Structures are given as structure tokens and as C-alpha cells.
Structure 1
């Protein structure tokens, strides 16, 4: 039986290759995902570990406990704290660290680095020693307000050398310090494409609004002192309740855990698509083994007649599956390693933070690839093998193809109807929920509906394929035979079409959702923003207070308002107050009122409808707010407005809020209106007024929507690339089915040739059959995709008021055309093979 199984594996090389490819692609997807996520996680963890190589214990400020309704404030780390840490027994050295955002422009004025990774700080350590925190490659350490040092990669990318004037900004005016030094660093953000600019400590403290203070104090242990022992000593030496000490080992462990957690969502998403590719692959493998077993029914019956048991027959089929799965798993692992490397390179080109590091192929990845490949193949082959073993030898020798009984068809259709109904019910129930609560029932319902439709596909195939009859008649006898052949074996047609259906369901659903959300955001921007421009930092940080003053004085600007966020204690909980210019905000934002007046000034505020409902406030209600500085004030609700995703919360007049803000507070964004409206000339004028600052973005409404569109386009392109794997597997399935169909119908094809149908007619028949099966799967997939897109949209619409379903008719037509192309391409080889059959040999074959 063992030798027979191996012989059968190699007896059908073409079918074996297609089955191996189907399994290989699924395994490659899984192993590629694991390689990619493990590589990025490993590189980040290694980078973070390097970042803690110059510290044994880190001292940070401790936020004071909230007392009553007072917002807790963070204690400052001062020179006195630094001296106390340095003088602690067991401390070798101690350095104060200052950090913040610093945007560096290249020679053309464009931002270097990558948003949040464009960092600044203070140069610390012994610049002349090889073990310095920032070893100098060229030049000297910065001294004074007009000097800066850059990391080597940033200097190279921006085209700067020692002695050049560096164009940069922190959050205010453009700075042009002299580049005095170029250093090397093991900072992972820098190696991933970010930038690091360092000043001397007083300059950094001044620029980052921390005069005389530090963000962190890094302490190294003296020889013979452990990290834990140093931590205990520092806890005793430093002021109680004002500082927090953490060992470098704990920091590295915490960061590794955070990295692992942040990567888990990406890994889950990628593995979902890997599972889809494998799910599609199961259809093909099951189809292949079903047909292989059907073709060998007489052979298996003869083996049963000469003494082979049912178990031996089943084991023979499973052994074939094991060999195929093992070969495919090894090949898939090799391809997956390549996919992982390619995905890392692709993510780097999109601007994502990808630290340097070796490709990680863990033992777990190898085991997962082998287990997935072998188990999936054996699982898909088990049912056909078991079914073949149950056929009595005499019956098998008399009839190769036994038609399914009426009882089995009724059972299948009943089960499919029940599963589909349960899926539709779960999806409809999910649309009534809001937020995350609807995701689980939505996912469950979608899975049940897809499975239910798959079970019902044989039943659906006849009426849907019958709709193509008028078109197929135009092709004469070839078209008629193609239609009859496509419904001859409904189960096989269903399994083939379902593979394509699943891929197109996901592609269509994602496209519908993305297009509808993009339209909702465009509508939201158009409906809620009256301002011509919105000015903000490129990394989302706070703007300098000088920005709103500069814009207010710019000729042509008719109305301006900054938006400043500040935490406050209200009714025992934390809320955020948004400081706005009460005189101009109504000219810059469209916020429909539910009640009252849009009056912001003095003690009067306006509140969004959701916040008002949470606190049971109405127009005229009063409440006491406890500001960040601990002071309190009674405020009155002048009006309640409708919230949206762009503007919400408690709006208060900036002059009322400003006295209670901390020294480093700034506007999150500035909205402004101009006399000439939005135009390229006006935008250039505003950019020049702000000193052509590389850190600041000046965006009109179209720029805002385009920025969001870029995110969706990038996401969709990545998902299309991932789902292409499932479509490729589906193509292999169509080829496999047609090849098997041609093999089974050799006598029939030979007879057709003998009675006058030429080779072109045979080719046309096979191609049309393939086209009909592919379009059948495409129609089902697009239909399900639209339904899922609508259902997910209902869930999104519960939290996004401007959401409405947008059907991308053009793209859906393109997807249907893609299904047709799949059918045509998949038929090339089987059609050629059918046309080349020798009619006399075919008629004689059994």
C-alpha cells in the first residue's frame, strides 16, 4: 500500500504540481506573516535594548495623585534631583536627558525623517570617549544656542556637512544653527529613517519648554553594584512621591512587551488573510483528491477485492496527501521567507518606522509551516479517501461516478439554508449595535453566511448559470455544451466557484467600506469646517503660541482661532476643555445647535450633545471645573451642539482658559479664513509668513481629505496584494477542475471530434465552461461583498453621522471583468489539451 501510494503521487505530475502550488501559497502566506512580524518585533526589541545600554536605572518624574477634583501635576526633575542622583552611593555617573520634537529640513526645505521619529534632545556624555552615548564621527559637540549636532544618516540624507547652516524648527520660528558635529547612534528610530538633532543642555531645555528641568535622569551603576541595588539606593536618596525609578532591564522588558502587543494586531490581520488563502486552498485540494480518487475507483475496488481493508485504502490516500503536504510545506516556507523580506522592504518604502535587523526565522515558524501544510492537505484528502473506501468493490467496478442521492442533496440544502439564515440574522443583529460590541456578532455572522452560501452553491449554480444561456447560444453547439458541462457536476462547479467567490467577497466588501468612509470624511470636512485653512504640526504635537499670533497679523487673514486642549476635573472625572477664540469660531466651524446659542466667552461655554447627555446638562446648566493648575471656576452651558469626528467636547474662550495652562501648552491646530479664499497663492503666502517651517503643515479642506484618502489607498493596496494570493489559488482551482473534467470526458470529446466539431470548437467549449464557472463565482462574491459592505457600514454609521453607502460601480465592474479574465486564463492549458486529444485514442479510452 505504501509503494502504491507513492506511485500514485508521481503518476499525475501536473495535478500534483497544482495541488502543491495551492498548499504552498497558503503556507507561504502563514510563514511570511510570521517571519515579517517576528523580524520587526526582534529588530524593535534589539533596538530598544541598545537604547538602554548606557543606563542602569532611569529616574522619571512622578505625577502627583489626584486630590479631590484637582488634576494631578507632574513634578519637575531639576539640577538638584540630578545632583542627588549623582551623589547616591553606588552610582557611577548620572546625566539629565531632555527630549522633544525637532524637524530638520534638507537643502530643498523638505522635512527629513518621519513624523513622530523626528526627534531632538540634549547632547550628553563624554564626547571624546569611545563609549560615549553619542560618539562623534566628525566635528565637536554643540555649545550655545546657535550650534547643533546631527546623526550621520540624517546629515547624509539632508546633504549637510560640518560648518553648514541647518534649517530646522522645534515648534516655533525656523532656526538656522551651525552644524558642529556628526555623531553615530544606535537609536532604532534613526535607523528606521527618523532624524535626531542634539543641542547643548541649556539650549535643549529652552527649546523644549523645560528651562532648568529634565525629562529623565539616566544613572549608571558603579563597579560591583547591581541595577536592583542602585534602584533601592536611589529610592532612598530622592524625594519621596516626586520621582519614579526603573531599572534598565525592566524598561527593556516593558518595551519588548509593548512592541509585542503593538505587533499583535498586525499579525492577527495578516494571519486572517493567510487563513483565507488556506480556506480557499482546502477547496482545491479536496477537489483534486476527490477527482483523483474518482478516477481510481476501479483500482481501489480491485485492491479491496484482493484483500485491502477500508482503513488501508483510506491510509493510502492520506499517505499521498502527507507526501504532497510535506513537499508543499517546505516549498511554502522558502517562499514565505522571501515574502517576509519583501514585506519589510515594502513597509520601509511607505514611510513606516522599520528598524534595521536580521531576518528572523524562528523554530516556531518552521513548525507552523510544516504543521499547517501537512495537516491542511491531509484534512482535505481524508473525506474523499473515506468516501472511496466505503464504496463496495462490486459497485465500484461497475460504475465510476455515483450520483449523489436525493436524501444527501436535501440534507445539504437544508443545512445550507439554516446556516445562511443564522449568518444573516447575526449580521443584521450586529448592525443594531454600536462601537466594538457589534464586531464579534458581525464577524460570526459573516463566517456563517459564507459557509452557508458555499453549502448552497450547488443548488444556486443551475438557476444562475441558466441566466447565461441566451449569451451562450450565440456560440452555437460549443456554447450549449459549455453550459451543460458546467452544471453536470454541481458540487465540483460549486467548489471551484467558491474559491473565487471568497476572494471577491473580501475585495468588494473592503472597497465598499473604504469608499463609503472616504466619502463620509469628505462630507464631514465640507460640512463642519468653514475655515479656508487648518494649520498643524506635521507630527500632531502642539504648535508654538507664536503661530496663531503670526497668522493673525498676516495680511488677508480675516478670522483666526487656535484650538487648545487642556485636561480638567468635572464631576469627579476628567474631561478635556478646548480653548477657542469665542469671537471667530462660528466663522470657522459649522456646528449645528441642538439648543441654546453658540456663545463662548467669560464663564459661558458650549458643549457637544454626547458630553451633555453624559452629565445630564441642558442649556443654562452650570458646573464647576477644576483646571490643570488646581484653580476652579463655575461655567454655564450657553448651548449644546452636534458633535462630529473633527470637533467635539467643551469649548471655552481661550482668554478664560489661558491663565490656567502650563508653560509648555500650545494650540493643537489653528483654523483661519482669508479674504481671497483657498488658493495656491494664498497657501504660499501663509507658508512664507510662517518662515517656510518644515514642521508645520498648512492644509485646506481638500488637503485634509486627500491625506485621509492616502491612508485608505495604502491600506486597500496592501489588502489587495494580500487577497491576490487567494485569487491566485482560485485560478489554480479552476485550472485543476477543467483539467480533471477534460480527463473524465476524453471519450465524449473524441466522439465530438468524430462527428465534426473541429479543434477550435473544442477549445471554445472548454473556455466558455471556464468563463461561466468564474463569472458564477464572481457574481456570488460581489453580491456577498456588497451585503457585507452595507452591514459593516451600518455599524460604522452608528458612530459616524455623515456615513452613507457608496457603491463603487466602476470597481465592481472591474472585479467582474477580473473574474472573467481568471476564467479565460485558467482555460488556456486545459482547452489546448482537450483540442490536441487523438479522437480514436480518446474513443477507445476507459
Structure 2
């Protein structure tokens, strides 16, 4: 059997080369995805902000819901802090030289021209107490440390950009507002570097840092801990309870991090083990090595996580498409060999032997393609990395890591996909009865098998069911399900491609035959007689068009709907937004209320909320608003209830889509968790419509913290206001909306122009500018989405070229016969061009229908109407034109190669 397999490969070089090309590209794609995943997992920040520590202790940053195998870990926007008692426990652990509490807070310097300075690469700018400098370590390059509360030390990079030196004054924006500080010193890293690569550092006295950070004692995590105090009895928890009881009265001392410095002679690993044994609390983490480095630069860790998670689905979708691509290639190869297989069946070869022969070919193809595919995956991974880093989606620390794992993963996946595709393609041919073999070889009687038809119908029904679910869910969640709809419909269309080809070839062929009576008629006749060959090429085009169409159409609808809702939502005349910063200090809203011409001023603060999405806890966007004024600056189009009810404790407003998923109405009660992990029981007071790019849950804003309650349920309900406020720990507003008094708009504009000069962190926009800049979570990932789909579309495009080349090059005998009876090369090339046009028409029509289904689904999920609006012109027609040019070029190139030989030579010796 092995000899027969190798002999078959030698005599069918084009088919073998086409199969190798398909598998090679699939291996390259999957290998590159695994390289990117491995690279993201192994990457670490370039500089460890806690590099001088033996370990860093922090609270668990995840909210854990459920238990055992059903436990879900949800990242918290505002993780709980370490209490002062916990920090005190760390200081008495043997081997600990010091424990430095660190709570980074927003602090941004302003240069001499009044421009606020972000961190390197538009990263964050953080303030710290001066003792925190030891953790990196930072050392003074000039001047001295801060001694008075109006003094500050800047890192050397920030001092250079701000053009200041020791003794100069610099303006600094914090949650407390804009203040002037005297630069007492300039610090650099002990390694000689001017500053951290992704963030700026400002150091104040400890007392000034506590004031500027807005810290106010116990936070939401403390409240959650008090709720289960009856279940904790060990020494650490008793100390923690005592400290929390004190914290409930407003004590300070909590910290985000506890940087632990070791005594000389104590190893970091040994000290970390002692810390874990001392704490014995699953809610606390002792970080060392890479975990410690990532904790110090969360902006880098977030980008690494995003860039890593991007390629898991990409590998899965690529594998799914590879089944159809490789299966189509093998199916075409087997179709071209049906006479050979028929003869083998006629001389007594069993179906099992036929399958083993094809399986042997598949193994050889996979092994031949493995190493070249991996080699091609390396530059593909570097290209992906360059795009991600260039677009700011991945940090420079993201470096491509090659090794045996991607090779094994890519090669193994290629082998499995090739075997699956080959055995699926040969199943019908191997089961032909010997008496029917030659008849079957002369012309297949069935377009497709019954099992294939049933499987296609199952996928079609599954796609329709998921589409209906997306309409029920609505919003961004519903839009996310459209990717699965497209994949299922692609699978169904690929399986049904012979039937679709037979149906669509007739009108397409009739048009071609009407255009040209000779070559067009021949093209129509050839296409009608070779349904399987045409369907293989049309399926590749269909996949390319459907994937590209989904990427363009759904993204365009999401962007347009988000921008439209943003413009309709804003009724304020002007909106104040941060300039080069994460938010606006609360004093901005207070100052805006005093502006001449201002009638209503309302601030909104972005936060998050953990709610159930599709039965699983997940993070949804939320906003803190003033219910008394929000309706005068934002038109959220309230469908039920009113924002007047949201003033009540424990009452919130929810978006139409989030309410629709749970069948909530005014008065409905639900459970969730605030951004700091505090559990809350809430009541729906209003349902609003225009939530895209804004929020799914809107909390009432309060200016004062609620005193702690003893009972957990009482505290949770009251915490709907105070806890939500604590959830946005930075204390910064995301925007301040200003509405002018009637007839005083010009006066307000003049006042805002002067206001911007006084407030370097503020930028004033009109409603159109602000509404058009509304951003959803998917919009922020547009580049990543385009990148993934571009690679997948390229993958299917290669399969398109490969299929067309195989299908055309294998017709050497047919072309030779036409030339022998008098047809010219030009006429044959025209015929091939018209045949390719028919193939393109079938693939484009089916692919466009699938893309339009996704477009209608996106419109329905976002607006409730499945009208086909939002077609991106002229981008989508350009994509179709590109597919057409690529297909025609591939077909004509293969035809030209097949016509190089003389007719008599081709008729005498051609086997392909």
C-alpha cells in the first residue's frame, strides 16, 4: 500500500503540490498563532517597577463567583486593598527588612506651554510617596528628596520633557486639582535609565501623597470582608477584623501593594514562602518574578493579555476553515482521480484499502508541509507582532518566541486536519461498487451524499438559531454572536456548494453564453458538466468574500450605530473631556458650574459592574451620574420608568439590551458586584435605549461615603451608591457636560476658551465631536479584529488561488483536444476566463448573501431593525473587485501554463 501511495504521488505532481500548498498555509497560520500565544505568555515588562523587592503582596485582583469546577474568576476594575493590619503582619516576618506601602494615584505634570504630559508612549503618569522609590529602585540624579508637602521629585525623563530642574516650579494635576510644586530633585533608575518605559513617576511626601490620592480609609473590599466575619476565626483574620472596624470609621493606611525588602542573606524564594505561610489567606497574593513585574506595570500586562487572547480564537477559526480548504483541495484531487479509483475498485481493491491509500497520501502531504509551514509561520508571526506593536495593541516587550511547541502544535494540527479532510473527501469514492466503478468514473450520478446534505442542514439550522439568539440578546453581546453565525453559514454553504453551484450556474452561464456565442457557450457547457470542480473553486471564493464581508460590514454598522447614538444622546452644548489623561478631577465640574452662561453642569464617571451575561458573571460598562441633572444634558431615551426613581438607594437604570436579555422591567430586582467586588442587590428604576458606547448599568452618584453597616444585605443595598462611588477609585470624571442658558451660548464659549487655558488637563468639545468619539469595547479592538480577519481572509485567498490553479492545470488533455480540433490559444484562454467568471459569480453571490445576513443581524441587534443599511461604500465593492482580479489572474495563469505544451504531446502523455 505504501508503494502504491508513493507511486500515485509521483504520477500526480500537480495534485500533490496543490495539497501540500493548502496544508502548508494552514500549518503556517496555526504555528504563527501558537508562537504569538507563547510569546504573550512568556513576555515580561522591560523594567520591573518592583525590581528591588524580594516579593510584592497584594489582594487577589479577581472576583470569584461559584465554587469548584463552576467557579468563575472575573477581573476587577478596582481590586481590594491591603489593610494596615496586613501590612503590619508582613513587617514582623523573619527576614523582612522593610515593607513599603504603595498606592499609585493619578498625577500628571504640565510643561511650560500648558500641555499636560502623559507617560512614555501615552502611558499613565503615577504619583507615589517618596519611600516607594526604593522599590524599583529610583536614585537621585540631582537635588534631594521631598521634605515639604509642596515639593516633588520627577523622574529624569519627565523632568526633561517638562523642561524643569531642581529649584524650578511645576504644575501637577491630581484628583485634588491643579497645584504648583517645587522640584526638589530628579530621579533615575539605579541602572542609569531616565525612567520607566511605559509610565511617568512623580514622588511626594507621604502626607502629600495621601492627600493628593484622595484615599479615605476602608474600601469596598473591606465591606465584603466584614460580611463574612463570622466565618473567620484565625489570628490574621481577627487582626484584619479589628483593623476593618477601625477603617469603617475613616482610618487610613490601606495600600494597593506591599513591597517587601529582604534582609541581607535572605533569599527571595525563602522569604516569599515565609510570607505565604504567615498570611494563609487565599484572597492575598505573594508575587515574585514575572508576576511581580506585571503587577508593577498593569498597562503592559493588559496589552500582553489582549495580544495573547487575540490568537486563540484565530487559531480555532483558522482550523475550522482549514477543514473546508484542505477538504476542498483533496476533494478536487480525488475528483480528478475518479477514473483511477474506479479502476482500482474494478480489480478488487476494497474501500478500506482505498481509504488507507488516501490516508497515506494525507500523512505524506502533512509531513512534507510541516517544516516549510512552520518556517513560513515565523515571518508571519513577526509581521503580526509588528502590526500589534505599531498600533499600540501590544507593548514593545512582546517578542516573538519560536521553539518546538509551535512546530508540534502546527504540524500536529496540520496532520489531523489533513487526515480528517482527506478521509471525508474519499468516503463516497471509496464505497463505489466494483460493477459501478467505470460508470461512476465516467460521470458522478449524485451531486452530493445524503449524510453531507443532512450535516449541511444541521449547520444551517444552527446558524439560524444563533442568529435568532443574537436578535434576542441585542447590543454588543448579540453582535458578538454573529461571528458564530457566519462560521456556521460558511460551513453549511461549503457543504451545499455542489447544489448551490448547480442552481446558480444556470443563470450565470446563461448570461455568459448570451454575451459570447462561442467561448461563452463552451464555458457554460463545461461548468454545467463539471459541477464538483466548479463548486470546489466557488467554495473557496465564497469563504473569502464571506469573511471579508463580515469584517467590513459588521464593524461598519457597529461604528456607525455607536456614533449615531452618541450624537443623539448628547444634548449638552459643550462637553469637557480629559486632555492626555485618564480623567478629569472632580473640581473641574465645580469650576464649570461657575462659568458665565452655564445653566446645567453634570459630570459622568465611568466604572464597571459585574452582572450575569448569558448566565455567566461578566464585566459590563457602567456610569455614575447625577439623576437630577443627567436628563438635561443627555437624552438616553428612557423606555420605562424615569431617572427620578434612580435617586433612591439601591435603584439603578439599565440599558434596553441588558434588560432584554434578563427580561427585566421597572421594579425587577437583580444581584451583582460593584467594580471593587462588593456584592449588591439592586432594583431597576428605569430602562433606557441609547446605551451603546455609554453603559449597560447607570448608578446614582453620591458625594459622600455611606457609613458601614453591620449586616451584609443592608450594607450591600446602601452600597449601591457609596460602593459605586468607591468603584471608581481614581476619583476622576470621564466627562463634564455643560448646557448653556438660552441665548448665552457665545458667552459660554468665551468662558470655556479661558477655562481651557487655566485648566491644562481639560479640552472642550461640541456635541458632534463628543458624540462621534463614542467608543465601545469592540471599537477599541477594531485593529485587532481587522488583523485577525485579514490573516484568515488571506488564508482562504491562497486556497482560492490554489484551487483554481489545480482545477485548470489538470485539464491539459481537454485543452489539447480543443486545440487539435482547431481552437486557438486565445479562444481557450477566453473560455477559461469566462469559466472563472462563472465560478467568481457563484462564490461572490453566496459569500455576499452570508455577509448580508451578518449585516442584517448586526442592524437588528443594535437598532431592532434588520434592514440592510450601513453598506461601506466603496470599500466593499473594492474587496469584491480584488477577489475577482485575483481569481481571474489565477485561472488565466494556470491556463497559460497548461497551453505551453504541443497538442499531440499533451494527448499522448498528459496524465493531469
* TM-score using structure 1 length: 0.77
The answer as to 2:464 corresponding to 1:458 is no
Change (3 A) 1:203 1:656: closer
Alpha-carbon deviation of 1:672? Answer: 0.5
- After TM superposition, the structure 1 = structure 2 runs for residues 526-537 of structure 1, keeping only pairs within 5 Å, are 526-537=567-578
Distance in 2 between residues matched to 1:459 and 1:821, nearest whole Å: 25
The residue aligned with 1:247 is 286
Q: Which moved more, 1:83-92 or 1:31-40?
A: 83-92
Q: CA deviation at 1:671?
A: 0.9
| Count of residue correspondences | 801
Residue 470 (structure 1) aligned with residue 477 (structure 2): no
Cα distance in structure 2, aligned partners of 1:682 and 1:642: 30
After TM superposition, list the pairs within 5 Å mapping 1:197-596 onto structure 2. Answer: 197-210=202-215, 213=253, 215=255, 216-222=257-263, 223=265, 226-227=270-271, 231=275, 246-249=285-288, 252=291, 270-293=311-334, 314-352=355-393, 354=395, 356=397, 358-361=399-402, 363-383=404-424, 401-406=441-446, 413=453, 416-417=456-457, 419-421=459-461, 423-428=463-468, 431-433=471-473, 447-468=487-508, 469-537=510-578, 543-563=584-604, 578=624, 580=626, 582=628, 585-592=630-637
Partner in structure 2 of residue 28 of structure 1: 28
Distance 2:444 2:738 in 1: 72
Q: Quick check: 2:809–2:897 contact (8 Å CA) kept in 1?
A: no
Q: Which runs of 5+ in 2 are unaligned?
A: 62-77, 217-251, 610-620, 669-675, 677-682, 708-720
Summarize the Cα distance change of 1:486–1:330 in structure 2 as closer, same or farther, 3 Å threshold.
Answer: same
Alignment of 1:84-95 (within 5 A): 86=91, 90-95=95-100
Maintained 8 Å contact 1:578/1:652: yes
Task: Tell me which residue corresponds to 1:170.
Answer: 174
Partner of 1:68: none
Is the partner of 1:670 in helix, strand or coil?
strand
CA distance in 1, matches of 2:807, 2:329: 11
Give, in whole Å, the separation in 2 of the partners of 1:657 and 1:353: 40
Q: Is the 8 A contact 1:310 1:389 kept in 2?
A: yes
1:122 is the counterpart of 2:129: yes
The answer as to whether partners of 1:496 and 1:734 remain within 8 angstroms in 2 is: yes
1:42 maps to 2:35: no
SS at match of 2:138: coil
Structure 1 position 588, deviation (Å)? 1.6
> Which whole-Å CA distance do the structure 2 matches of 1:607 and 1:300 have between them?
70
CA apart distance, 1:378: 2.9
SS at match of 2:548: helix
What whole-Å deviation, never above 9, does each CA across 1:687-745 have from its counterpart, x for those lacking one?
65244756445443333344346976674444344333444344444444444444443
Tell me, what secondary structure is at the counterpart of 1:590? coil
* Structure-2 residue corresponding to 1:180: 185
Q: Using the TM superposition, name which of 94-103 and 369-378 deviates more.
A: 94-103
Q: How does 1:676-825 map to 2 (within 5 A)?
A: 686=752, 689-691=755-757, 695-708=761-774, 715-794=781-860, 796-797=861-862, 806-808=869-871, 810=873, 811-825=875-889
Instruction: Return the offset for 1:283.
Output: 3.9
Question: Alpha-carbon deviation of 1:338?
Answer: 2.6
Kept in 2, the 8 Å contact 1:564–1:669? The answer is yes
Equivalent position of 1:67 in the other structure = none
1:530, CA displacement in angstroms? 0.8
Shift, 1:115, TM fit: 6.3
Distance 1:73 1:281, change over 3 A: closer
The equivalent residue for 1:54 is 53
Say whether residues 1:670 and 2:736 are aligned partners.
yes
Contact 1:533–1:678 (CA<8 Å) still a contact in 2? no
Distance 1:249 1:284, change over 3 A: closer
* C-alpha contact 2:447 2:498 (8 A) present in aligned 1: no
Whole-Å separation in 2 of the counterparts to 1:841 and 1:684: 87
Please say if residues 608 and 622 of structure 2, whose CA atoms lie closer than 8 Å, have aligned partners that are also in contact. Answer: yes
Provide the secondary structure at the position in 2 that maps to 1:487: helix
Contact 1:472 1:483 in 2 (8 A): yes
Give structure 1 stretches of 5+ with no counterpart.
63-71, 569-574, 619-627, 629-635
Residues 251-281 of structure 1, C-alpha deviation per residue, up to 9 Å, x if partnerless?
A: 949979x999997886565343334444444
Structure 1 position 41, deviation (Å): 2.2
Q: CA deviation at 1:389?
A: 5.7
- 1:568-647 to 2 correspondences below 5 Å: 578=624, 580=626, 582=628, 585-592=630-637, 608=653, 617=667, 642=688, 644-645=690-691, 646=694
Matched, 1:103 2:96: no
Conserved? CA contact 1:19–1:285, under 8 Å: yes
Q: Which residue of 2 aligns with 1:571?
A: none
Over residues 524-572 of structure 1, what are the superposed CA-to-partner deviations in whole Å (9 max), with x where a residue is unaligned?
A: 223322112333446886632321232223344343223468999xxxx
- 1:217-245 Cα shifts (integer Å, max 9, x gaps): 43334455943675489769xxxx9x986
- Structure 1 range deviating more: 728-737 or 821-830: 728-737
Relative distance call for 1:826 and 1:669 in structure 2 (3 A) is same
SS in 2 for 1:101: strand
Larger deviation: 680-689 or 586-595?
680-689
Q: Counterparts of 1:141 and 1:303 in 2: how far apart (Å)?
A: 88
Residue pair 2:56, 2:287 contacting (<8 A) in 1 also = yes
Q: Does 1:836 align with 2:907?
A: no
Aligned residue for 2:472, secondary structure, equals coil
Preserved contact between residue 678 and residue 700 of structure 1 (Cα < 8 Å): no
Asked if the contact 1:122–1:198 (Cα under 8 Å) also holds between the matched residues in 2, the reply is yes
Task: Decide whether aligned partners of structure 1 residues 290 and 230 sit closer, same or farther in structure 2, where only a CA change above 3 A counts.
Answer: closer
8 Å contact 1:281–1:499 — kept in the other structure? Answer: no
**Distance between the aligned counterparts of 1:471 and 1:751, measured in 2?**
23
